[in-house]
Amino acid sequence: MIAGRHPADFQPLPGFANRHLQTLLPRILPRPALSLVDEILELPDGDFVELTWLDAPTLSAEAPVLVLFHGLEGSVDSPYARHLLRAAERRGWRAVLMHFRGCGKWPNRLPRAYHSGDTADARRLLERLARHYPSAPRVALGVSLGANMLLKLVAEDADNALGLTGAIAVAPPVNLAACADTLERGTARLYQRHLLGALKAKVAPRLVRRELPLALSHGDLGRCTTLRAYDDAITAPLHGFNDAADYYQRAAAAPLLGDIHLPTLILHAEDDPFMPPGLYDGLTLGPGIRLEIARHGGHVGYVEWRNGHPTSWLARRVERQLDEWSERATVSLPAFSQSGN
């Protein structure tokens, strides 16, 4: 994998290059049927996260491991999650998706939720996997909010104490403030409304039950008509930030990208409706980063025409990367090379 900036080889489904069509198409594609197993991971603070594993009882302890982190209000039922888990299964990888707190089947216990810079739970899981599968190549993959979180975690883990072979970040909103502004303009407001609806539906009953340390009424919640307003009123005070601006500044991955040495693939679509044009202009990329930018793709869309039907280019690109890293691990070569694929 050659570091630096590169054009992605994604070609959209003919007639469906539009950013909004690409964003929505994965929701209507057939979702792979998977055999899944759930697990509760208890956390040091008394809370928990829900894990969903591919059921793979015949895999050896040395089989490579893929760890998925979903996007805002995502889950194992998100279309991209199903396709990525299926990609791992096709390549013979063990795979697990970590639901952020409260995003699985059960509400979390503590008066808090999750956010774009919340790396502690992911670190806990990756440390556990390093103990359980010390001889296996281990790759982490984040999508959207989970991708920003993963990039921040990789940057924090400068000496790779987690022992990752590599990381993949799909559509990370590395400049949180700019992305929040983008969602307040034009058609993007429809996505903002959808995300806000999911967030409010989850937090409203907790406010009624007075489970959260917030002086916020149901009417106040209703007046949060943008993600920035929601983060200002709820996300920031719940997680120790002064306000939304403080949260966006401290949780964004953009200022940390130059510190990343771990082999890391970032996939970004220039027409992503969640993000401003030129998101990576002027940003310093660390020596481990390969940034692939596609002209089209929308937000975690990447639907192509292949073998006579629409399918996920994203899953196919991830499969290629998993193959490369597993092959390098098998022949005991470094996971990353500056000079060749």
Pairing of strands 309-312, 303-306: antiparallel
Cβ(67)–Cβ(126) below 8 Å: yes
Q: What residues are paired with 170 via a beta bridge?
A: 143, 267
Alpha-carbon 14 to chain mean position: 27
Q: Given the residues 83, 157, 299, 326, select the one marked as catalytic.
A: 299
Residue 31 pairs with which residues in a beta bridge?
A: none
3-class state of residue 38 by DSSP: strand
From the list 144, 157, 296, 312, the catalytic residue is 144
Whether 261 is a known active-site residue: answer no
- Nearest-angstrom CA–CA distance, 148 and 115: 10
Give phi and psi for 124, each to the nearest 5: -60, -45
144 is catalytic: yes
Helix (H) or strand (E) holding 7: strand 4-7
Nearest 5°: the CA angle 92, 93, 95 is: 140
128 Cα distance to chain centroid = 20
Q: Give the separation between CA 101 and CA 284, rounded to whole angstroms.
A: 32
Catalytic, out of 78, 116, 272, 296: 272
Q: In sequence order, what are the residues at sequence separation of 6 or more whose Cβ sits closer than 8 angstroms to the Cβ of residue 15?
A: none
Active site residues per annotation: 144, 272, 299
